[in-house]
Amino acid sequence: MKIEWIPLSIVAARLAQAHHTGTMEGNGNGLDMRARAKALLKTGCDLGASDIDIRRLAGHAVIEMHIDGTVREYDEITTDYADKLINALYMLTKQQYRPKQSQDGSIAGRDLMGTGLVNVRIARTPIAPVDADAQWLNMRLQAGVQKVPAVDALKGLKRVEPPPGKLDLVSSGWTEKQAELLQTFVLNATGTVIFTGPPGSGKTHVLHRLSEHIARTRPGQRQAFIEQPVETILPHAPQLNILDTLTAKRRRSLCAQNPPRSAYGRQHSGLGEIRDPLVATTWLSAAETGMLMMSTMHTAHPFLAIPRLRDMDPDRLALPIICDPAIICGLVGQRLVPILCDHCALPWDQNDPRLTQIMRNAILTWQRPDWRASDIRRLGPGCPHCAWKGTVRRQVVAEVVDPDETLMADFIQYGPTLARHRYHTRSNADTTMLEKGMGLVFQGRMDPFDVPLKIERIRAWDFLQRERERALKGLETTPLMERGH
């Protein structure tokens, strides 16, 4: 095999030439483009496709066909050709193409004559990078008579190329067990994984890595992201920027347009942040139709995502409705914490003037035979090893909760606080972020001063144990009747 390296401009020129000399011969004027748009629809019908997607990206565009629930690449075209094609499709819907806006429409009747289709629903939205006029156009095809495509025709379709590399969460601080659980969550057919944490805690990063993992393991599945704003471009999934392209209504229509159609064609969406009642009820509708989704919320710990959702619409999002492992399949809390420089960190002083007496006492309650206060260190003056920062990097401290039937039943019966404490008495439960943070403190890797700032208030260890014991006793000693049930 010989690899020839040539500039991208030549590739684009060759593609353009191929389109002028290939099957789509012509000069690209309006009437001709209209014929080509109809030819594309006819091809989709002949191939038995349920959808045709045109993804117009920054430097090139692809036409993709959804066949038996799997996305396959049909053709790669130039952005110029894609723009003309999209424009022609909007002419068929009797609308003016407005590239900067999201636009829905349909083609029916005489405009579909000769294609074998009776109806085509079009949804299009700008995607990232918006300044390059990137677009994602989805056409849902409704055929008059369902065709059985010729085997030879399908041979021309290419498998979607999976992203390179492999999933690595452990190097950024996730435990092996957490990485394993997260992968298990995204292998589900349905349900939502909710990532909680303050802004800048790396939620989008892990969402993207998991999305790549899905694309690698199931390359023919359409994934979409709704972000605010889009920061890094994912080549494998359209990203909608909520700030300039998307209203909640639009988000609802995006979910409605991508219901799963078969076991092979599960759709995955990153729904961005759930932060208002409309988005929350939209999310529930999508979740109830059976979509796997990943979403983010700003709550102090992962268990609080449940009451936060309920409070957005106490009727529609009542606990008995949302506390279902098929609706919520994973709860994650995460933080990014600074790791001390090994070379210049200073021993911690038990009279640390930066902390209150309450905090110093609470820290000391965490001592155990292998967790000694003498190992605790604090931020040092900086040195050449840490570029004079005193810290070397930031690491993920997370809690991954597997919301099984028992936990969900506890949410409904006891409420979020007791459900949380009861969950933590399980021997196989992931430890809390505070517990992991205190572990780093007693390894001399994290300054205790950073714990309340980056994770949460340091409570005394025995206080936390007592809370859990009380939560457990709530079940064992109080008969159901006395609790008013």
Among 16, 383, 412, 429, binds Zn ion (CB under 5 A): 383
- Between 127 and 340, name the residue whose CB sits nearer to Zn ion: 340
Give which of 253, 189, 256, 254 is closest to 221, Cα–Cα: 189
Give which of 56, 166, 47, 169 is closest to 117, Cα–Cα: 47
User: How many angstroms separate the CA atoms of 54 and 97, rounded?
Assistant: 15
In the complex, least distance from residue 453 CB atom to Zn ion, rounded to whole angstroms: 20
In the complex, least distance from residue 341 CB atom to Zn ion, rounded to whole angstroms: 3
Give which of 457, 453, 439 is closest to 376, Cα–Cα: 439
> Residue by residue, what is the 3-state secondary structure of 343-388?
CCCEECCCCCCCCCHHHHHHHHCCCECCECHHHCEECCCCCHHHCC
By CB under 5 A, is residue 92 in contact with Zn ion?
A: no
In the complex, least distance from residue 347 CB atom to Zn ion, rounded to whole angstroms: 15
**Segment interacting with Zn ion (CB under 5 A) among 169-177, 244-252, 268-276, 378-386:** 378-386
Binding mask 334-373 for Zn ion (x = CB under 5 A): -------x-xx-----------------------------
In the complex, least distance from residue 384 CB atom to Zn ion, rounded to whole angstroms: 7
User: How many angstroms separate the CA atoms of 460 and 347, rounded?
Assistant: 22
Ranges assigned E (strand) in 387-438: 391-401
Peptide bond into 403 cis (omega under 30): no
Q: Could you tell me the sign of the dihedral formed by the alpha carbons of 461, 463, 467, 469, in that order?
A: positive
Peptide bond into 229 cis (omega under 30): yes
Binding mask 298-337 for Zn ion (x = CB under 5 A): ----------------------------------------
DSSP state letter for 159:
E
- Between 383 and 429, name the residue whose CB sits nearer to Zn ion: 383
The site that binds Zn ion (CB under 5 A) totals a number of residues, namely 6
By CB under 5 A, is residue 386 in contact with Zn ion?
A: yes
**Segment interacting with Zn ion (CB under 5 A) among 86-94, 191-199, 379-387, 438-446:** 379-387
In the complex, least distance from residue 455 CB atom to Zn ion, rounded to whole angstroms: 22
By CB under 5 A, is residue 14 in contact with Zn ion?
A: no
In the complex, least distance from residue 371 CB atom to Zn ion, rounded to whole angstroms: 24
Closest residue to Zn ion using C-beta atoms: 341
By CB under 5 A, is residue 440 in contact with Zn ion?
A: no
DSSP string, 454-476: HT-----HHHHHHHHHHHHHHHH
By CB under 5 A, is residue 466 in contact with Zn ion?
A: no
In the complex, least distance from residue 354 CB atom to Zn ion, rounded to whole angstroms: 19
Nearest 5°: the CA angle 246, 248, 251 is: 70
Number of CB atoms found within 10 A of residue 222's CB = 24
In the complex, least distance from residue 439 CB atom to Zn ion, rounded to whole angstroms: 22
- Rule CB under 5 A: which residues touch Zn ion? 341, 343-344, 383, 385-386
